[in-house]
Chain A
């Protein structure tokens, strides 16, 4: 664990206070967190600085910026950034703020701009950030000016893994590869679904939930709520399947909603990352199933069985989910304040899939993954109720202790088949092993000097 004794922006006393919010006595059977971490603005500010602006953050998928000049404006922590493709084909990033007065440099959330022209005073920059024009330069600087002093501020590090672009504002952070730890084989299970690559489908949806970001981050890998909160989803799609006599991709697979019906497990993948998975009761319902002849020879039987035979919720700590369930989703958790969080969602799909598979994928995406669907609204309101409840100061602690007796250090048999090496494994998927990993990572990052 990094040394927390030295001075930092918020002072060592506050770091100690954060450390005490995770009561980690797992060896004595106790692991609990102080619920103030869900609604304290001082904690939130420190999280932005020490987590979101200090580690690798997902910013975009390469398919969203295929051509030179294509850009996306997004946020890393609280910082507005432009992620763009340069003329040499590489992906880069600058802080989205003019070097002159700080105005945003893009009118739109995404677009194409070979040069960035500030709409306030007209200063102009190459997409790499190099300042190439200062309006009325000769009049303002009769003795000349070195425009290179006014380049845009670069995002210190921007790197891709298998099409997923990550940015890091901290030049001293470990490499992206180190950061991703044991998540890479699971990212591959999504990224390798088409020899032609994956694409983010047009259209995004965003919803704001009045809860702390960590409640969203727990919820995306919380197998425990599935049979409760989503019981009515399962009931609704089961009825629909029966009415339609649905088979193949028309079927909405729902075995995971019945405890014990299929095999499930969860893995702590290190650095706060984790995954929960469940066997699909009907793999042929997965939109990828049609690609068997194309993909199986590329990836081999064992990986194919993982890809199409198991639904997977993968968390890349702190705020990215790659979901491969009835449909496939990129879910980005963007904190707005201690008690408000924006969730941005995209459908990601294999390039070149059939119209039938694409249609089924989008149908199932709308059903489950949108705040206008049959499931996500129930999560959102449950999380808002939780946020309201954690404000009750006399009820201070949330326990994460279910599953300690059955936890395996290292991989289980399924992970071993693919030479994946989790920190810890547990079955079924709804045990709380993975949250221990999340909150240990939280404590580690929050204790670090920035």
Chain B
């Protein structure tokens, strides 16, 4: 392997800082700040499994667990949670994201493709502790105020789950 350059270290740090910050904001229910991490036309996808080995790829022909073509879908979720009228979200489960294996796969300084692994530890009074996880594939883009999320693709390992899933616990 070639030597690591300072520029690579800086980029890795910048990428990790954004991804870790997203987890922090979600776990602390700072949803308005969280929305600020996304570009207006950001895509957010969590496909269903087609079978034991294949994930859905086309959200307009196959089943996705979550698919938002723009940030407006994330905004709907925050609005719903903030109604305090969602049975599943009041009280909200406690959660802690743990993210690792952050690897820059491609792109350049201004458009970066990143993959990482995640787990979420969750606790809800009636259900007790639960853990689940998977992989995030991000596309990050640099704008005037730094890196933002242009795309988040969530691979969720389960095809069966016994807790409701929402933006704060995946």
Closest partner residue, chain A, to B165 (CB atom):
A372
B65 (CB) vs chain A CBs: closest residue: A372
Stretch of A88-96, A286-294, A374-382 on the interface side: A374-382
User: Which A residues lie within 8 Å of B63 (CB)?
Assistant: 201-205, 346-347, 362, 365-366
CA distance A366 to B126 in the complex (A): 25
Q: Report the bound CA distance from A140 to B161 in whole Å.
A: 45
Residues of B within 8 A of A370 (CB): 65
**With a CB–CB cut-off of 8 A, which chain A residues contact B85?**
231-232, 235
Residue B110, interface by CB 8 Å: no
Contact of B165 among A109, A203, A342, A371 (CB under 8 A): A371
In the complex, which residues of chain A have a beta carbon less than 8 angstroms from the beta carbon of B18?
A: none
In the complex, residue of chain A having the shortest beta-carbon distance to the beta carbon of B67: A366
- B49, CB-defined interface residue at 8 Å: yes
| A192-222 vs B, Cβ < 8 Å mask (1 yes, 0 no) | 0000000001111111111000000000000
What mask results when residues 229 to 267 of chain A are scored 1 for a CB within 8 Å of chain B, else 0? 101110110011001100000000000000000000000
Tell me the complex Cα distance, A377–B168, Å.
13
B46 touches A203 (CB 8 A): no
Total contacting residues, chain B, CB less than 8 A: 39
The answer, yes or no, to whether A108 is at the interface (CB within 8 Å) is yes
Give the interface SS of chain A, mostly helix, strand, loop or mixed.
Answer: helix
| Separation of A365 and B62 alpha carbons in the complex (Å) | 11
Give a binary string over B70-83; 1 marks a CB under 8 Å from any A CB, 0 the rest: 00100011011001
Q: How far is the CA of A384 from the CA of B163 in the complex (A)?
A: 11
Give Cα A388–Cα B127 distance, bound, in whole angstroms.
Answer: 11
B134 at the A interface (CB under 8 A)? no
User: Inside 8 A of A110's CB, which chain B residues have their CB?
Assistant: 51
In the complex, A235→B164 CA distance in Å? 20
Q: CA separation between A385 and B166, bound complex, in Å?
A: 19
| A358 interface hit (Cβ, 8 Å) | yes
**Contact present for B61 and A358 (CB under 8 Å):** yes
A9 sits at the interface (CB 8 A): no
A19-B140 Cα distance, complex, nearest whole Å: 63
What is the interface size of chain A, counting residues whose CB is below 8 A from a CB of the partner? Answer: 48
Does any Cβ of B come within 8 Å of A355's Cβ? yes
State which of A203, A210, A239, A380 has its C-beta within 8 Å of the C-beta of B79. A239
A232-B86, A377-B86 known; A206+B159 contact, CB < 8 A: yes
For residue A359, CB closer than 8 A to chain B, the reply is yes
| Contact among A203, A342, A371, A382 for B47, CB-based, below 8 A | A203
Residues of chain A with a CB closer than 8 A to B60's CB: 355, 358-359, 362
Q: Select the residue from A203, A346, A379 with max chain B CB neighbours within 10 A.
A: A203
Q: A243-B72, A362-B59, A372-B166 are in contact. Are A381 and B88 (CB under 8 A)?
A: yes
CB distance from A213 to the nearest CB of B (A): 15
**Chain B interface (Cβ < 8 Å from any Cβ of A):** 46-52, 56, 59-67, 72, 76-77, 79-80, 83, 85-89, 126-127, 159-166, 170
Q: List 15 A-B contacts (CB under 8 A).
A: A201-B62, A202-B50, A202-B61, A203-B62, A205-B65, A207-B161, A208-B160, A236-B80, A347-B63, A362-B64, A362-B67, A366-B65, A376-B164, A377-B164, A378-B87
